[in-house]
Structure 1
């Protein structure tokens, strides 16, 4: 496979100078600890009384799954560095060993907090006739029905295995659970230890059908309850369950010449990755723990004795209980009005004027309609599409296949390195190729993270290019819960730029003279630094200055140092950073003009929006406004293909800046403020409560409806002064 082209020298900033560990800690927060602080905020939503009870349980489950992935990737990476005696310091000056020590302390606190919340939620669920029965004795009233289920559906697939010198310890897959039994044979009092692996193909819980309530019994409880069926003639001395988390990151080897073959092999190897975390039922004896340590663990594993429910992320099965009274009110996304006004003709609507669509308040169906229309339109000659995460039931894939089968030229850039979606993407790539789609896998070293769709249509004697630029993935499921922007345009400059981006990915042809967009790994960091420098210069000339930016993560040291420089010059900076933030705000002489907030609520904030005052007070039509697929992280600037799109159309500019961005800034019901010591403090609504998610659910968006709706009394005016106050 061809290598990525050599890049021009990257921007040099003060962030590249060598800092002492003490200086680094004063200037930056640790990335891993900042992520754990984010997951703590997610967990706090499990205790938020404003959320219905099953939604609280959903947040608890999300925090558990988040923590699993953190161990699989981030902790696994640090453990690997530690084992190889790598002393590379993080941007905040910590060695891998130092980070692991602080991570262990923080994750132990999270594990304990999760179990405490589970006990509270479990008790509250019982008041609403939903019971989770975790002890065999508690399940006795339903023994007859449970035994019938066990014999018919569980017993045939369970395989007890003796643990002794003649039986090697079985392989436990990533996220695998097992129950260990210490038994005594009644006939001769001989002791034996058995292990029963819980099949991952089965649901974690068995739900007992009941007219008035939902009763759930975990698989491990069922196995312990009917151990006499599994082990006739034996008496149980003790039993308990455990769960393993393995290193699941895939590292690209530079000698990998066939990326598809490499990933197929790497996915298999990942299932057998080094064990990073062992969760133990506290009922297990020290002897069992010692056996597990000797049999399956290495020096890299962390052992957690879980005083409660093992595998907290799997509680999401209970969230599916049909109890609308215990969930958020149902919300139906709107289809963009502009498309309706053109009788569903996406091309006619986009040709008339640029359109911005705000997901999930406005349906992702518009993106699917755009692609379906392209597949069916006889005047469409070519479609080019990036695919990072497309989901398991993807209408996007279907549309591309239909287009190829209709004889159109279809190119799909499938990113194999989308973490934990590699196998699914390999499947889609195979399906697309079978249909005649030209499938391209991009670069070995970089990920193609840009979300771009490009349709070339014959109109008269000429061709017109229609483009979709998204801040989120082409994933119909996550589009229902992630807040993202979809920008549709038929602007010729944007079309020519999109074509150059695709040529860069498919043929390594470095773009020249891009007219509208910036892209990584070529220039986004440098362009951002220039925009920040322009704000510093405007302020020096006595003009208004300011920066508003919304993103998922802020890690890049060069950008952080540039923001510090702007703050010291007096530029007011407001950042909405949902997750990781390594910038330390509010420090005198460094960042006193920077404010950082995080929003965690019903929807996951995912859109990337950046605004620069450009000589007028924010918000104004003179502001330079951008949307992007990139966060402000080294990987997004240096190791990913990303785009940064300026918003020029006045109507779309107003919709994004005056509505979406201002709503994020004035939200005070779902917002947390980052303090200079690294703590996050939940904002108090006071006399002017504002919830941006509720606002956009209850009020029509401006998407595609322009000035007419702006004048309508149906849409409350958002006032940034509320935020400043």
Structure 2
């Protein structure tokens, strides 16, 4: 199957329909029928709009909205026009997303309920009502996810020669060869754990795949329970040898191989029943920084405790006997509502193995990022001079269309090697395991430059990786700090200080995405390379605030959370509201739930201003509500690349102002993180960003539209049934046709 790169087509197979569920937001309820906006009390702003109270049900629930986002991922997996291996990958992404949702959001909600600190959500739902909504929606989605694989994707893969064979479908020769492999490679690492008076029920680690084994003792006739963990470090999909056809790939699951050889683990016992199961645990971290003498040490201890968090979900295969399930729920202390009976195989995150197969006819067309024209060398044989390009004018980068390695990475590497560079200061939130960025900072320190790395070791699920890099940087002589107490450093910043003709010049990068060369090929992000003096001064102050004691730093050009991002945005939104029908607000984010920002957008819409929101994930807004948000439109785009950039535009034409930055419109970003937003001042760059935004908001481009009822509707065919344009493939085409422009100055 090949893809039409401009199409984002229907979500169902023409020959086999799997109806996807619709996650419906419950109507909000507020105490005493009234909701008090957080915009006045929580953020210290004057409530100038108290005379015009907003409706209590104006906020959609954030957890239900997240489930709707993952439902959109599932719709891509169900789309027959998406290449087959990409559909397989979307199945894996859906499963991975849901794992993290349970580990963090559901676990956090359950913890707050248990400790009595949970409060009614902004949507008006009580905490237990939110849990109920999550349970209903998650059960529906997981059931459809499993059905989609078993009834459509799996058979379609089989039609392309990619099959997942059951043990009893293998030939005797194949079983014999796999048996040899089991004895030499798998058996030595297995640890069977029995349950009896001398052996308590074993600890089940989070996200591990396990076999529940029911054994009979032929001598006593007694029944016994044992657990065998499927080793996570061994390949889950075992490729069967002996296939000569390049277009045929056969696998058998590791758990099936183990189940077929349980007699080696329990000699003298009869294997009566075998079932797979999987537990999801609370894996969110809680570190009391104010009481921690050393944040690094405290976090390392907390990471050790993370694996013992309480269960929040139990996945079991559908055919599991009730008495086995009763044993698991009792020993794991799992409520029946947290049990998910599913057809095997469980844990479809492993489908990434199949999605990575080298079958170009079943994947998206090959894509190679290009060097930004303003950073391209004048002569092919000469290397790019990033710093000279920055002196010629601001460079706006758009990844992955603009190569990260020949722009941001090259900027840091050239700065590290430049003998005139005196200092490099860098924030690191998430980076790859073999990061050239880390290597460049180490090289710079070895060359005698002053190098500061602000490493955010509390970046969720990257804590261990970041601790490792922090120690490596420290040992290399880099000044490593961990940001500010009580705040995560989420801003994407790099500052280079260079000696030039007796004066110091500052070169800056401010971005929306992490300094990670691997994800930069998959995530859509923006970045600004600039020598602007005011921005350089702002970054100097911000880095001093992160590494030292400068709590009252003021910034000329940047908006910085937690101090000025929310207030700065609300001020600009209110200014557009004051312009009435001539006002315009355009926002692109991953998530938008902050009550103060949402209420400001409602006020702007009520005043007649045009309000357009482009959101990938969670959205608390209700667009199109008469008298509240009639001029508001909300769109979502999912596709080949993960839309990750944040853009904030105010006004139109030559007076429009645009900011890019690292902050989503969520409480954690605006109150508990250091975030930075930078203005784009080049008029051509402003026009370019607004053109992309306005293109997405048209009815000519495929997207999801949010209705006033809180439902997302896929808009991907025109009136004649012709697929609409895909914005990401349009950008691939347009960026690939660019030519090197003349220098602006």
Distance 1:229 1:332, change over 3 A: same
Matches of residues 470-481 of structure 1 in structure 2 within 5 Å? Answer: 470-481=511-522
Taking the aligned partners of 1:241 and 1:621, their CA distance within structure 2 comes to 62
Partners of 1:693 and 1:706 in 2: how far apart? 23
Bigger shift: residues 230-239 or 488-497: 230-239
Find the aligned partners of 2:143 and 2:47 in 1 and give their Cα distance: 41
Which residue matches 1:638? Answer: 671
Once the 2 structures are TM-superposed, how far is the Cα of residue 667 of structure 1 from its aligned partner?
Answer: 7.2
Residue 217 of structure 2 is aligned to residue 204 of structure 1:
no
Output one character per residue of 1:555-598: Cα deviation in whole Å (capped at 9) or x when no partner.
00011111111111100111101100001111001111110011
Q: Which residue is 1:345 aligned to?
A: 385
The 8 Å contact of residues 338 and 703 in structure 1, kept in 2 or not, is answered as: no
Deviates more, 1:564-573 or 1:502-511: 502-511
1:439 equivalent to 2:473? Answer no
Comparing 462-471 with 691-700, which one deviates more in the overlay? 691-700
Residue equivalent to 1:169: 201
Q: 1:441 to 1:513 in 2, by over 3 A?
A: closer
Cα contact 1:65–1:313 (8 A) shared by 2: yes
Post-superposition shift, 1:539? Answer: 2.7
Can you list the C-alpha shifts for 1:238-286, whole angstroms capped at 9, x where unaligned?
1101101110101121422311011000111111111111111123211
Verify: 1:58 aligned to 2:93, yes or no.
Answer: no
| Equivalent position SS for 1:695 | helix
Cα deviation digits, residues 48-98 of structure 1 (max 9, x gap): 122111100100100000000000000001111222233411111112111
- Paired with 2:400 and 2:110, the residues of 1 have a C-alpha distance of 38
8 Å Cα contact 2:637/2:643 also seen in 1:
yes
**Given that residues 529 and 562 in structure 1 are in contact (C-alpha distance below 8 angstroms), is that contact kept between their aligned partners in structure 2?**
yes
Once residues 479 and 501 of structure 1 are traced to their aligned partners in structure 2, the CA distance between those partners, rounded to angstroms, is 25
Hey, what's the Cα distance between the residues in 2 that align with 1:494 and 1:629? 16
Change (3 A) 1:649 1:704: farther
Residue of structure 2 equivalent to 1:458? 499
Change (3 A) 1:17 1:266: farther
Match of 2:559 among 491, 494, 518: 518
Q: Is the 8 A contact 1:600 1:670 kept in 2?
A: no
Q: Which moved more, 1:136-145 or 1:442-451?
A: 136-145
SS in 2 for 1:276: strand
When residues 677 and 333 of structure 1 are mapped into structure 2, their CA distance, relative to the original with a 3 A threshold, is same
Conservation of the 8 A alpha-carbon contact between 1:14 and 1:558: no
Aligned residues: 690
CA shift in 2, pair 1:483/1:704, >3 Å: farther
Matches within 5 A, 1:42-53: 42-53=73-84
- Residue among 591, 598, 607 paired with 2:645: 607
Q: CA deviation at 1:206?
A: 1.1
Could you tell me which residue of structure 1 aligns to residue 149 of structure 2? 118
Mapped pair 1:222 → 2:252: no
- Go from structure 1 to structure 2 and tell me whether the alpha carbon gap of 1:53 and 1:550 turns closer, same or farther (over 3 Å shift): same
Q: 1:479 to 1:18 in 2, by over 3 A?
A: farther
Over 3 Å counting, the alpha-carbon distance change for 1:395 and 1:162 in structure 2 is same
- Distance 1:295-1:19 versus aligned 2 partners, 3 A rule: farther
Structure 1 Cα separation of the partners of residues 551 and 690 of structure 2: 32
Match of 1:449 in 2: 490
1:247 to 282, 286, 290: 282
- Pick the aligned partner of 1:558 from 596, 617, 620: 596
Residues 579 and 609 in structure 2, CA contact (< 8 A), matched pair in contact too: no
Select the residue among 704, 707, 710 that pairs with 1:672. Answer: 704
In structure 2, distance between residues paired with 1:708 and 1:685: 41
Does 2:718 align with 1:683?
A: no
| Contact 1:281 1:306 (8 Å CA) reproduced | yes
Q: Are the equivalent residues in 2 in contact too, given 1:609–1:661 (CA < 8 A)?
A: no
Q: Which residue of 1 aligns with 2:396?
A: 356
Q: Which runs of 5+ in 1 are unaligned?
A: 1-7, 710-725
TM-score normalized with structure 2 length: 0.89
Per-residue deviation, residues 597-654 of structure 1 (Å, max 9, x unmatched)? 11011111001111111xxxx3x23211111111111211111111111111223223
**SS of structure 1 residue aligned to 2:442:** helix
Q: Which runs of 5+ in 2 are unaligned?
A: 1-40
Aligned to 2:272: 237
Equivalent runs, 1:284-295 vs 2, <5 Å: 284-295=320-331
Give the match for residue 192 of structure 1. Answer: 224
Aligned to 1:573: 611
Tell me, in whole angstroms, the C-alpha distance in 1 between the residues paired with 2:315 and 2:171: 27
1:485: how far off?
0.7
Shift of 1:196: 0.8
2:319 maps to 283
Q: Which residue of 2 aligns with 1:589?
A: 627
What is the TM-score when the length of structure 1 is the normalising length? Answer: 0.91
CA RMSD of aligned residues (A): 2.3
Q: 1:36 to 1:13 in 2, by over 3 A?
A: farther
Q: Which residue of 1 aligns with 2:213?
A: 181
How far has the Cα of 1:662 moved from its partner? Answer: 3.1
Distance 1:703 1:267, change over 3 A: farther
Q: How many angstroms apart in 2 are the aligned matches of 1:121 and 1:669?
A: 27
Give the deviation of 1:298 after TM superposition.
4.8
Q: Do 1:452 and 1:467's aligned partners in 2 also have CA atoms closer than 8 Å?
A: yes
Residues 104-128 of structure 1 show CA distances to partners (whole Å, capped at 9, x for unaligned) of 0000011111011111100111101
Deviation readout 1:407-441 (Å, 9 max, x if unpaired)? 10000000011100011000000000000000010
1:700 positional shift: 2.3
Give the superposition deviation at 1:704.
9.0
Distance 1:158 1:448, change over 3 A: same
Structure 2: distance between partners of 1:84 and 1:704? 60
Q: Which moved more, 1:218-227 or 1:572-581?
A: 218-227
